Amino acid sequence: MNAQAHASMIGNSSQIGAGQRLRVQAVLWNSLGPASLSNALIELLENLPADAVERTLWALNRHPDLRRHYHRAAVPDLAYRLLCKAHVPANIQGLLGRPHALRSIKAGDLVYIWPPFDLPLIKGAQERGAIVVAERTNCMAPMAHKLVSRAYARRSIPMPKSWFDPRGMAEERERMLQCDFVTANNAFVKQSVLDAGLPEERILETSYGFNPHRLASAIAVDRPERPPVFAFVGSGSISKGLDVLLEAWERAGVNGRLLIAGEIDPEIGAPYEHVLARPDVDALGWVHDMATVYAAADVFVFPSHTEGGPLVVYEAAGCGLPAIISPMGCGRLVRHGQEGLVVDPLDVDEMAEAITKLAEDPALRQTLARNARDRAQKFTWDKVGMRLYELFRGITETPSRPPAPWDEASL
């Protein structure tokens, strides 16, 4: 059954009536761990209204810190450990979990799938009368390929050969077109899905958010007068723009410090060893408690080339940090000139000018910080979860009605 035929079927026979609890069955063919993907999924599910939603989460395994009463381990613990020891990929492990998840799906359910996407699961859920929503955590591959290839071309080095293979890109497109709806957490993700051929009425415009309680030690901190501290948070790679940032930091020559929170790829570590060794650059590696980084910083820097709605942007803003950021990294939070400075992630000079501007203008930093903190209050997970619930409720009660577009004015 194709997606259009399925949409017609659910529109006629399996709507959720007003007053009924919505059954949301989330599927993540991966382990629930401390990574941002798991945290985002848990926060979204936790903040769907419990009195209106019956939640189930199918995952390959459950991390103790993220264990919830609605979790279902799709693969027994012993089998999961053996599969991991044998280095079996998560999408293959999902083959074992699929029958368990499918048996629980009923007509009228909303099946909320996260990458890696499982085409037989999508079709099987639709055959059971469920509505399938895919969570796009990043741009579709053709757009990502275009953006990342430019970043590698700037350095005159090839991208890894395993990235963006044509077969994988075609399979990704097939899976998205099969789904009833696909989320888009920023304008770039939406455009990439439109480019793939998905009609606009099947796109749910969403956002990510942040948890003020988890970051409490970094919120409303009294930052002392000092040479400003800039913080980059994420994997230290070309695709995240760390090479451009390091070149810009060296070029700017400001009186300040640069913190890098995240593992640094060899493609960055070796050629930029001289910058990383500078006394004003601190490479922290992987950091468990990100609040410590946000509390130590005065400015957040994120020149990524391809993103969905990166959680770190919402977290940094919630902690009162102005941003130097690429258009792709803004999520739905940073607007040019209001919460930070938006720069071309390929332009070292522009990045260096932004660093210098914020380093030398504490009044501007304070204004942008206040704007970022105020803006972030619209993106706490409780508000984001309620907006997602309203979208889910709309498409299950009236599947034939196009979902409302993102309403910036209402925030």
What CATH number should be reported for the domain holding residue 313?
Answer: 3.40.50.2000
Residue 331 sits in the same domain as residue 241: yes
Does residue 290 share a domain with residue 189? Answer: no
pTM of full prediction above 0.85: yes
Check whether 5 has a pLDDT greater than 60.
no
Task: Give yes or no: residues 155 and 237 share one domain.
Answer: no
Q: Which two tokens stand for residue 50?
A: 């419990």
pLDDT at residue 161, rounded to an integer: 87
- What tokens appear for 182 in the block? 């696909």
Residues 327 and 222 in one domain: yes
Model pLDDT, residue 6? 58
Are 37 and 135 in a shared domain? yes
Quick one: 59 and 146 in the same domain?
yes
Is there a contact between 339 and 333 (Cβ–Cβ < 8 Å)? Answer: yes
Residue 261 pLDDT exceeds 60: yes
Indicate if 205 and 268 belong to the same structural domain: no
- pLDDT(62) > 80: no
Total domains present in the chain: 2
Higher pLDDT, 8 or 378: 378
* 199 & 300 share domain: no
- Pairwise pLDDT comparison (15 vs 223), residue with the higher score: 223
Q: Are residues 356 and 293 in the same domain?
A: yes
**Do residues 199 and 313 share a domain?**
no
Q: What is the DSSP letter of 334?
A: -
Residue 322 in contact with residue 369, Cβ under 8 Å? yes
- Examine the pLDDT at 86 and tell me if it is beyond 70: yes
55 and 184 both lie in a single domain: yes
Task: Summarize the chain as % helix, strand, coil (round to 5).
Answer: 45, 15, 35
The reply to whether 68 and 42 lie within a common domain is: yes
Q: Is 117 helix (H, G, I), strand (E, B) or coil?
A: coil
Full domain range(s) for residue 148: 3-209+381-410
Report the mean per-residue pLDDT for the chain.
Answer: 91
